[in-house]
Amino acid sequence: MFLVDRLRGMQDILPPESNFYSKIELLMRSRAEFYGFSLIRIPILEFTELFNRSAGDSSDVVQKEMYTFNDKSGRSVTLRPEFTAGVLRAVVNGLSGNAVYPLKIMYFGPCYRYERPQAGRYREFYQFGVEIFGAPSFLADFELLCLANDIFNSLGLKNISLEINAIGCVNCRQNYVKAVKNFFEVTKNDLCETCKIRLKTNPLRIFDCKNFECKKMFDNAPHTVDFICDECLNEFENLKKLLEVNKINYIVNTRIVRGLDYYTKLVFEFVAHFDDASLTICGGGRYDNLSTSLGGPVLPATGFGVGFERIVKLLQKVNSNMKIKKDHKIYVAYMSENAKLVAIDIVLKLRNLGIKSDFDVLNRSIKSQMKYANKTNYDFVAVIGENELKNNSINLKDMSNGKEVIFKLDNFHNEVCDYFKRKFDNSKLDILNS
Question: Which residues touch 423 (CB under 8 Å, ≥6 apart)?
Answer: none
pLDDT of residue 74: 95
Does any domain span residue 352?
A: yes
pTM: 0.82
Percent of all residues in the chain with a pLDDT value above 70, rounded to a whole number? 91
Q: What is the pLDDT of residues 244-258, one digit of tens each?
A: 999 999 999 988 876
Range from 62-66, 113-117, 206-210, 387-391 that averages highest in pLDDT: 387-391
Which domain does 293 fall in, by range?
A: 17-169+228-318
pLDDT at 83 over 90: yes
Cβ atoms of residues 263 and 207 within 8 Å: no
pLDDT of residue 143: 96
Residues 314 and 343 grouped into a single domain: no
pLDDT at 105 over 90: yes
pLDDT of residue 337: 94
Does any domain span residue 205?
A: no
Range from 179-188, 288-297, 299-308 that averages highest in pLDDT: 299-308
Q: Please give the Cα distance from 144 to 174 (Å, whole number).
A: 26
Q: Tell me the average pLDDT of the chain.
A: 87
pLDDT at 179 over 50: yes
Q: Please give the Cα distance from 429 to 313 (Å, whole number).
A: 24
pLDDT at 307 over 50: yes
pLDDT at 325 over 70: no
The residue among 41 and 294 whose pLDDT is bigger is 41
The domain total for the chain is 2
Using only the alpha carbons of the chain, give its radius of gyration: 27
Residues 314 and 387 grouped into a single domain: no
Does any domain span residue 179?
A: no
Given 296, 318, 340, which residue is the final one in a domain? 318
Residues 163 and 265 grouped into a single domain: yes
pLDDT of residue 427: 39
Does any domain span residue 360?
A: yes
Does any domain span residue 185?
A: no
Nearest to 303 by CA among 288, 320, 314: 288
Residues 399 and 336 grouped into a single domain: yes
pLDDT at 170 over 60: yes
Residues 157 and 279 grouped into a single domain: yes
Q: What is the pLDDT of residues 28-78, one digit of tens each?
A: 999 999 999 999 999 999 999 998 887 655 566 666 789 999 999 999 999
CATH number for the domain harbouring residue 240 = 3.30.930.10
Residues 356 and 306 grouped into a single domain: no
pLDDT at 428 over 60: no
pLDDT at 386 over 60: yes
Residues 267 and 381 grouped into a single domain: no
Q: What average pLDDT does this structure show over 89-97?
A: 83
Q: What average pLDDT does this structure show over 81-100?
A: 87
Q: What is the pLDDT of residues 138-161, one digit of tens each?
A: 999 999 999 999 999 999 888 999
Q: Please give the Cα distance from 155 to 312 (Å, whole number).
A: 10
Residues 30 and 131 grouped into a single domain: yes
Does any domain span residue 371?
A: yes
pLDDT of residue 328: 79
Given 318, 343, 358, which residue is the final one in a domain? 318
Distances in Å between the Cα of 418 and the Cα atoms of 28, 383, 400 are 30, 19, 20
Cβ atoms of residues 382 and 397 within 8 Å: yes
pLDDT of residue 56: 59
